[in-house]
Chain A
């Protein structure tokens, strides 16, 4: 009576289908080429001789490329080691008692952020709160959109900075950063935007958004890991996290990661060429996936806003089926996704993002994030649509919770 129908051969001869692009992406071939070429450049960009200048030129050229992509000027770009470093840098400035940042900020030190930020913002914010800085978290509605009215109420006289992400990593939901910017402008408060999941997927312009700081990461857009960029609007107070060097105009010490920076710029160049066409393709794939799920799997819930979103990411819950089980059964079939289930994270709590959205408990532990990328094909989606329904049916068949019918 034990079913052996899942015992057939999988994985070996079959191509693995990677649908976890919000976690990280493979290198774009153009990026690989640019980095391979740059590998022979070993000079320290700070050196005045030819080898140094050769490296400095590569960094300067890359800075122009990245700046241009988001409507900034090159001097407003600081290269950093990761998106997390960029976010930590911006938030940590609130603890600075001396220097330009404290002077410009006046007595205000408080931070308003949201309940759905990436852990590198959440945990840093909690750490600031533990050090006595007033911190509050704006709520989101059930589609994962920050409630700007509620946020506005939190921005009182104690607040120096607001930090809001542009696209959420778990749900792909887009935030109305422009509206938050208007709140910040009217209160003379700085605005930081973690745009790691948005830059390179939708057009991002720092002036249109009206932000003072904006975070970019290379490895989410087919660039290398270990490099990111922080946009710092000219004239806003800035406090370095890593001190002790004149690199990046004294804003980030440490010899430049020339190879990584070249990779980031190459990734940006490729996105500029491919983004628009790909956006349409992602929309079509998303519809194919959603329509397919709708036709084949009874009872599911889309987590996140259905229109105001990055189309490449789809977060769905299947009530009665636990997320880690779905992930691992899919993995056995050669399909790689992620989940917000507690059991997959190695922690005891399910996703703080889904919790903040107050989605039903039965959905909280059964969410799956399918994030597509430039290599994803219709065939890949069709394979998911073939494999996923029996997996959900099977898990529900074992389940003590509803959703079995």
Chain B
């Protein structure tokens, strides 16, 4: 009696055989690297790029993660997606497109996929910095609220538009304030703000039971 696998077949495939994992023994020489996340929250991601300097195109890439099956699979898929893209194209790849490419993730696992693209963008910025293109370095689309996990105001707004109504749901979407927790008050205010902005009076944050 074989039970169904928890995730999609594609997640299983990438979990069993993750592509482009950095292997110490292969001597991969990265032109740039980016790392985000933090061991405290149980998620950490590093992305390494080899770039064609003329076309500013990603020739090859590697990654490493301290993460669960979803994190491994989503980063593996991301690494395949961005190979051959220009740095500018790669910059626009976000967690949503990775999840779509994977054939979806269970709702409560989406937050496991949010670090890969951030590590990638950090690596792209690193490339620009190392190669005298400071003018191309972009900060995340908007102000960073959660320093530990690099969650921005824009991420919070997106989460609200995707259906987050409680602070816990916001955390499920973004992982915000799951590490040191010092941004929690501000994050709660921003949640309230964006709920008001998009849903008016119906959008008040739903009171939560003690302990979610």
Contact = CB atoms under 8 A, between A and B. Distances in A.
Contacts of B37: 400
Given A126-B210, A346-B108, A348-B171, A401 B17 contact: no
Contacts of A347: 108, 212
A364 B69 contact: no
Nearest to A324: B68
Size class of the contact patch on chain B: 35 or more
A186 interface: no
Given A342-B42, A348-B41, 13 more contacts: A1-B26, A6-B17, A126-B210, A127-B210, A323-B68, A324-B69, A341-B68, A343-B68, A347-B108, A348-B171, A400-B46, A400-B65, A404-B24
Given A324-B69, A398-B18, A400-B44, A361 B64 contact: no
Nearest to A350: B42
Contacts of B24: 397, 404
Contacts of A320: 66
A4 B106 CA distance: 27
Contacts of A2: 17-21
Contacts of A7: 16-17
A2 B17 CA distance: 7
A279 to B, nearest CB: 31
Contacts of B26: 1
A7 B13 CA distance: 10
Given A325-B68, A401-B39, A332 B16 contact: yes
Interface in A4-37: 4, 6-7, 11
Contacts of A325: 15, 67-69, 72
Given A126-B211, A346-B108, A361-B40, A397 B68 contact: no
Q: Which of A4, A324, A361, A400 has the most chain B CB atoms closer than 10 A to its own CB?
A: A400
A397 B63 CA distance: 11
Instruction: Give 8 nearest A-B pairs by CB, closest first.
Output: A343-B68, A365-B42, A324-B68, A400-B44, A401-B66, A346-B108, A400-B64, A399-B66
B72 A398 contact: yes
A322 B72 CA distance: 10
B175 interface: yes
A344 B7 CA distance: 12
A348 B178 contact: yes
Interface in B98-152: 106, 108-109, 111-112
A325 B67 CA distance: 7
B45 interface: yes
Given A11-B2, A322-B68, A348-B175, A397 B21 contact: yes
A123 interface: yes
Contact of B66 (A11, A344, A365): A365
B182 to A, nearest CB: 16
Nearest to B42: A365
A362 interface: yes
Contact of A343 (B16, B64, B109): B109
A354 to B, nearest CB: 12
Interface in A319-354: 320, 322-325, 328, 332, 341-344, 346-350
A375 interface: no
A398 B64 contact: yes
A345 to B, nearest CB: 9
B35 interface: yes
5 contacts: A324-B68, A328-B6, A343-B109, A348-B168, A400-B35
Contacts of A332: 16
B74 interface: no
A398 B109 CA distance: 20
Given A127-B210, A397-B21, A341 B42 contact: yes
Contacts of B111: 348
Given A344-B68, A398-B65, A6 B40 contact: no
Contacts of A123: 211
B171 to A, nearest CB: 5
Contact of A328 (B39, B42, B44, B69): B69
Given A322-B42, A325-B72, A341-B68, A3 B112 contact: no
A364 B44 CA distance: 14
B64 to A, nearest CB: 5
Interface string B67-94: 1111110000000000000000000000
Contacts of A348: 41, 111, 168, 171-172, 175, 178
B201 interface: no
Contacts of A129: 210
Contacts of A6: 16-17
